[in-house]
Amino acid sequence: MLVELTVKGFLDATAGSDPVPGGGSVSALNGAIAAALAEMVANLTIGKKKYEDKESLMRKIAAEAAELQAGFVKAIDEDSDAYNAVFEAFKLPKENDQEKSVRSDAIQAATKVAAQIPLQVARKAAGMMDLLAQVASEGNQNAITDACVAMMCARNAVLGAALNVRINLLSLKDESWSNSVRKEVQMLENLAIKKEQELLTKVHETL
């Protein structure tokens, strides 16, 4: 698994001439980092006299964030695996019409999966942003910049995953599915930009 590499090993695997891990896995990693930072801010709030009344909310946020992190961590590998499956499909034989047809169907099926994995990441990261806004406003204010960085990483998880969905849609023949996904992706992108901007604008006024 990619997350079992050291951070330096992951960076070197990214930098190498293999297309994976690439932007797709990095987007999932950004989601995982955002969730980890949210959990930290909640943990830095729990047990503090000043935030006594937020204790149960922060425990709930910490637990949710841990669960979200686990989902993004899984997607780091899923994204690279999905890319490799497309690559394998392209290597299928194409000597005659039957082989060509089998190969084309395999490419289409693998490409659909390679769009679905980042689509899930984009949905999950966009869905996490209200929790991030909450931990930023209700959590320990000494950690406000950490909550902002979490929000920025979630924004990149959405926008980066969305780009990976979009590029895969380009080679899909199922136009009705592609069109509906493209609309959803556009909506998620707009939402991510808006939610991040709301928090950063608010915090910038105080810094």
Span of 33-41, 88-96, 109-117, 121-129 interacting with its own copies by CB under 8 A: 33-41
Interactions with its own copies, residue window 74-113 (CB under 8 A): 76
Residues 42 and 147: beta-carbon distance below 8 Å:
no
Q: How far apart are CA 38 and CA 148, in angstroms?
A: 9
Site string for its own copies, 54-73 (x = CB under 8 A): -----------xx--x---x
Shortest Cβ 93–its own copies spacing (Å) = 23
Closest CA to 41 of 19, 66, 18: 66
Phi, psi of 162 (to 5 degrees): -60, -40
Residues 176 and 36: beta-carbon distance below 8 Å:
no
> DSSP letter at 52?
G
CB atoms within 10 A of CB 68: 23
Q: How far apart are CA 126 and CA 62, in angstroms?
A: 18
- Residue from 120, 156, 178, 181 that binds its own copies (CB under 8 A)? 156
Shortest Cβ 98–its own copies spacing (Å) = 28
The answer to whether residue 139 forms part of the interface with its own copies (CB under 8 A) is no
Shortest Cβ 166–its own copies spacing (Å) = 4
Phi, psi of 101 (to 5 degrees): -70, -45
Interactions with its own copies, residue window 165-204 (CB under 8 A): 166-167, 170, 200, 203
Supply 14's token pair: 């990214």
Residues within the interface to its own copies (CB under 8 A): 2-8, 10-12, 14-19, 22-24, 26-27, 29-30, 32-33, 35-37, 39-40, 43-44, 46, 65-66, 69, 73, 76, 142-146, 148-150, 152-153, 155-156, 159-160, 163-164, 166-167, 170, 200, 203, 207
